[in-house]
Amino acid sequence: MNDQVYFDEMLGTEGKVRRPYQPFNTWFEGEDPKHLRAKQREAEDLFRLTGITFNVYGRAEAEERLIPFDIIPRIISGREWQKLSRGIEQRVRAINAFLYDIYHGQEIVKAGRLPEEMISRNDAFLPEMIGMRPPGGVYTHIVGIDLVRTGPDEFYVLEDNARTPSGVSYMLENRETMLQMFPELFSENRVQPVSTYPGDLYNSLAACAPEGLGRKPTVGLLTPGIYNSAYFEHSFLADEMGVELVEGHDLRVEDGRLCMRTTLGYKPIDVLYRRVDDDFLDPLTFNPDSALGVPGIMDVYRAGNLTIANAPGTGIADDKAIYSYMPEIVEFYTGERPLLENVPTWRCSDKESLAYVLDNLKELVVKEVHGSGGYGMLIGPTATKKELAEFRKKLEARPGNYIAQPTLSLSTVPIFTKSGLAPRHVDLRPFVMVSPKGINITPGGLTRVALKKGSLVVNSSQGGGTKDTWVLED
């Protein structure tokens, strides 16, 4: 694996600075490394001051951590971004059409393009959503599409985040930090802005409100509370959008409407941007022990008096077993070939695929179907014999719980180290907003970077960091 050649987004494959990076490289070479090291420390202080932290579950020694931030931006040309945007939009349209179909006619199953058991036996499929059409016909109001790059023109979708994608606050704070520390860079490089995201998100959510309100919609953001790993983001976004940040105990159902407690009594909410999982939304419909949701909220939703973003039941669209059918899903609903490719995937529920995966475990990446955050994952090439043996037992015991993929040659971008620039592997999560008025993709997204040399795991929970993502105006 160490002999692999990776595409470097700054230096290409021949060690020559690629065009999008040339103005930045000229600036960088004229800078004093001591000054840049001081700026790196300043950035860390800014993040600590702002309180940009995340919680690490299952780690007793560190409840809250600072996400490492690297001052070297990741730079994408306008041409590259246009190509990516077309593929992202196509995919998001297909996901919304797929969700409508599986909760209505299930035409894709009838056409033999998707096995029926992929839906009926899927924990993320909610029978309560059958026949339900959300206001405006939008299921996935906010989507995060995780992309990886393997060459100059080779991008793959690693996974689709259609439930409650997180990380957008880091995208915004990364840009704010860079603007504050290196204003001269933004006058020398024509970087497309990301600062309009909170306003765009508010407008997109408001456009999804139930019809016939006759007034400006009231939007609220539902958080599980301060102990959630993404609580910083919840409070940040509510503040930036100018909407109320609410918890389950702030809400109740009154006269067929969802209402929030205010100083003037209870006031109706029309759109609820929820950051609470399906199972905890309504103790009368789902988990009866949930204290995070609101009793009766699903009745209000089914009556058409509330928009829940993202819609309950969207999780089936980012299930990793369904992911393996995404090329068929895109083609079925758009009539076009996918513009963005999937990573080849073996479904371990299939006997032949399982046999192949078990025979080649050392070369593959194996993931839990419902896993996230880099947990429950095996990276074969870097795993120990003990880890491989333990994972083999897990696969044999519950094959349907896993998918496997080849180890991709992820592109690298430079990070700033004590000895200068050094390449590290990255992925990219662009953020997409969907409303009846259209699809809005913020130029850039969250670049996550594996700070450990040779590591392919970029998740912050596994020691990864973030960097500012620049999309240039070509």
**What was the pLDDT predicted at 317?**
95
Length of the chain as a residue count: 474
pTM of the model: 0.92
**What was the pLDDT predicted at 372?**
60
Residue 277 corresponds to which tokens in the numbers above?
Answer: 């999982």
Could you give the CA distance from residue 52 to residue 212 in angstroms, rounded to a whole number? Answer: 39
Could you give the CA distance from residue 87 to residue 340 in angstroms, rounded to a whole number? Answer: 5
446: left (phi over 0), alpha (psi -120 to 50) or beta: beta
**What was the pLDDT predicted at 238?**
98
**What was the pLDDT predicted at 340?**
97
**What was the pLDDT predicted at 21?**
97
Domains in the chain (CATH in brackets) are 344-407 (3.30.1490.270)
**What was the pLDDT predicted at 59?**
46
Q: Which residues pair with residue 309 across a beta bridge?
A: 273
Look at residue 279 and give its three-state secondary structure.
helix
DSSP for 96-135 reads: HHHHHHHTTT-HHHHTTSS-THHHHT-TT--GGGTT---G
**What was the pLDDT predicted at 48?**
81
**What was the pLDDT predicted at 60?**
46
Q: What is the pLDDT along the chain (474 residues), one digit of tens a residue?
A: 445 789 999 999 888 999 999 999 999 999 999 999 999 999 988 888 877 655 544 444 445 667 889 999 999 999 999 999 999 999 999 999 999 999 999 999 999 999 999 999 888 999 999 999 999 999 999 999 999 999 999 999 999 999 999 999 999 999 999 999 999 999 899 999 999 999 999 999 999 999 988 899 999 999 999 988 889 999 999 999 999 999 999 999 999 999 999 999 999 999 999 999 999 999 999 999 999 999 999 999 999 999 999 999 999 998 888 999 999 999 999 999 999 999 999 999 889 999 999 999 999 999 888 766 556 789 888 889 999 999 999 999 999 889 999 988 899 999 999 889 999 999 999 999 999 999 999 999 999 999 988 887 787 766 789 999 999 998
